[in-house]
Structure 1
Amino acid sequence: MEAAGERCFQMQRLRQAGIEVARGVFRFGDGHVNWYVIEQEGALTVVDGGMPSHWPALMDWLTKRGQGLDAVRAIVLTHGHADHLGIVRRLSDATGRPVSIHPDDEALAKGARLHTPPRRIRRNLWKPHVFALNLNWARAGLFTVPPILHAECYTDGQRLDVPGSPRAIHTPGHTPGSSCLLLADRDVLITGDALVTLDVVTGRRGLGIMPGTLNDDPEQAWDSLTALAGITATTLLPGHGEPYAEGVPTALAAARRHGIDWRTPAAGAHGHTH
């Protein structure tokens, strides 16, 4: 238990505080959860919001840039899960900006089942690495994330009138409103939890949908990969795990090899068992 807990704790301390991962796109978060800031001529769009404990990272980054919260012109969510809403309510209250989200996730982000863990986490809570993960997420404030109050909804295919002009691509399954954001001029696809490079339950690394019942509807999440089939962006920025820079087509091929439950790559190779 102690070894697994220490490993998880170390991952949680790996802060990503405004690291530029593509032109004008900055990564924030920790070893498990990512969120991003898009910059366009000094104006900022915050995409997702990690954990409540991530707030100082944003404020420190803005201070170093000589900016304040007034530089934040928009807040956009890829989906409505609590581990992506950590600083969102606080940021919306502080800036007066509404939160953009797909309408199918609006109720979730406003509080419906917001603090209910996915079945796969509940079922594996007895495992040391899952217990340690939940303990560290609790310390980061996950289970007290406040719901959003004000939302503006985007639709599939819509180009949002915010800094960076991301185009929304609806990829339901992880949640009903789960969506990706394409930054065509940056050659970047922000995937939220529709396509990730880390299985947060086992610690396995690879490319795929969120494994199994970490999704509301695993089959639908799998089928939603077809919505990304025509995307050729080079850089993929997931909600969990490291950025991937070998192109979306290669990422999709890898995800299809791994399957819904990531059963193809051996779990033991990553130091865990299923």
Structure 2
Amino acid sequence: MPPNTARRQTSGWQASSQVSEPAPGVFFVEGPASNWIIVKDQSGFILIDSGYPADRTLVIESIEHVGLVPSDAQALLITHGHADHTGSAAYFSDTYGTPVLCSPEELRQVQGVVKHQIGFAQVLPRAWNPRVFRWAAHAIAAGSLTAKPATAARAWSVEELRGLPGSPQAIVVSGHTPGNVSLLLAAVDVIVTGDSFITGHALSRHTGPQMLHRMFHHEPVRAVAALEALAGVDASVILPGHGPALSMPLSDALASLRI
């Protein structure tokens, strides 16, 4: 990335205030526009999502902030293949040989073969809205249009996930993208929702459980209906792809969700 872009994105961001530990061994990192999670136990650590391409230095800083070495990551798990979640995937794969893993249904997008992402056709008619304009300007500055796909990514298996730090369990919540998932860390009562639902966003005036604006979803109606996959899942800590972490039962969050 150009040096000036890196400086622009890191300006004002500090790991000391943006990294929290809402559950033992689970570190929630609030990036400039999207979040990522570090999960560690006695066997090592994994990374879940990785911000925009220009957030790479922040991803590395956050890992080092919690006393870990970026090259030691056992895997980088991707909740879905949008550029604000896959920004460091190619770098980790190419530089450290980190396995980049996603759901089988999302693999082609993470590899860059297909693209299910918002484009100019959805943004331009709404660009008069200052919130949309500011979001779009940040996304472009953060490298969304030039994001490098993780061509070496591969699909995970249930057994492979179970053997990783935190023993994550993937729950497919399709609609935002075809292979979008949430990840359950059952041992610590945590659900990583990614963009299945969020708690805040640059386009939203509200904080709390909510869906992203419909223009971000590949299939908006399905994205809402697919939340049924989370019904009955036990978790009391919610870590979204956008917005702050929540300490509340997942069932309560779903019941109060803004559509």
TM-score tier after normalising by the smaller chain length: 0.7 to 0.9
Q: Does 1:205 align with 2:207?
A: yes
Which position in structure 2 is the counterpart of 1:47? 48
For the 8 Å contact 1:155–1:170, the answer to whether it is kept is no
For the 8 Å contact 2:131–2:202, the answer to whether it is kept is no
- The alpha-carbon deviation at position 25 of structure 1 amounts to 1.1
Counterpart CA distance in 2 for 1:204 and 1:124 is 19
Q: Does 1:246 align with 2:248?
A: yes
For the 8 Å contact 1:120–1:212, the answer to whether it is kept is no
Q: Does 1:106 align with 2:107?
A: yes
Deviations 1:91-118 (A, max 9, x none): 1112212211112211111222266538
For the 8 Å contact 2:116–2:218, the answer to whether it is kept is no
For the 8 Å contact 1:31–1:241, the answer to whether it is kept is no
For the 8 Å contact 2:116–2:177, the answer to whether it is kept is no
Look up the equivalent residue of 1:82 and give its one-letter code.
Answer: A
Which position in structure 1 is the counterpart of 2:79? 78
SS in structure 2 of the partner of residue 180 of structure 1 = strand
Query: TM (normalized to structure 1)?
Result: 0.81
Look up the equivalent residue of 1:74 and give its one-letter code.
Answer: A
Query: TM (normalized to structure 2)?
Result: 0.85
For the 8 Å contact 1:79–1:178, the answer to whether it is kept is yes
Which stretch shows the higher mean deviation, 59-68 or 237-246?
A: 59-68
Which stretch shows the higher mean deviation, 47-56 or 158-167?
A: 158-167
Deviations 1:194-228 (A, max 9, x none): 01112432343231232323211111111111111
Deviations 1:61-113 (A, max 9, x none): 44445542332111100011111011111011122122111122111112222
Counterpart CA distance in 2 for 1:237 and 1:146 is 26
Counterpart CA distance in 2 for 1:190 and 1:79 is 12
For the 8 Å contact 2:52–2:86, the answer to whether it is kept is yes
SS in structure 2 of the partner of residue 57 of structure 1 = helix
Q: Does 1:136 align with 2:138?
A: yes
Equivalenced residue count is 249
Percentage identity across paired residues of the two chains: 30
Counterpart CA distance in 2 for 1:221 and 1:76 is 21
Which position in structure 1 is the counterpart of 2:172? 170
For the 8 Å contact 2:28–2:245, the answer to whether it is kept is no
Which stretch shows the higher mean deviation, 156-165 or 33-42?
A: 156-165
Which position in structure 1 is the counterpart of 2:190? 188
Counterpart CA distance in 2 for 1:31 and 1:64 is 17
Counterpart CA distance in 2 for 1:57 and 1:223 is 34
Deviations 1:120-154 (A, max 9, x none): 53431222221111112222222221101112213
Which position in structure 1 is the counterpart of 2:223? 221
Which position in structure 1 is the counterpart of 2:153? 151
Instruction: Find the partner of 2:125 among 123, 126, 150.
Output: 123
- The alpha-carbon deviation at position 159 of structure 1 amounts to 4.3
Which position in structure 2 is the counterpart of 1:4? none
Sort the Cα spacing of 1:247 and 1:35 in 2 relative to 1 into closer, same or farther, 3 A. Answer: same
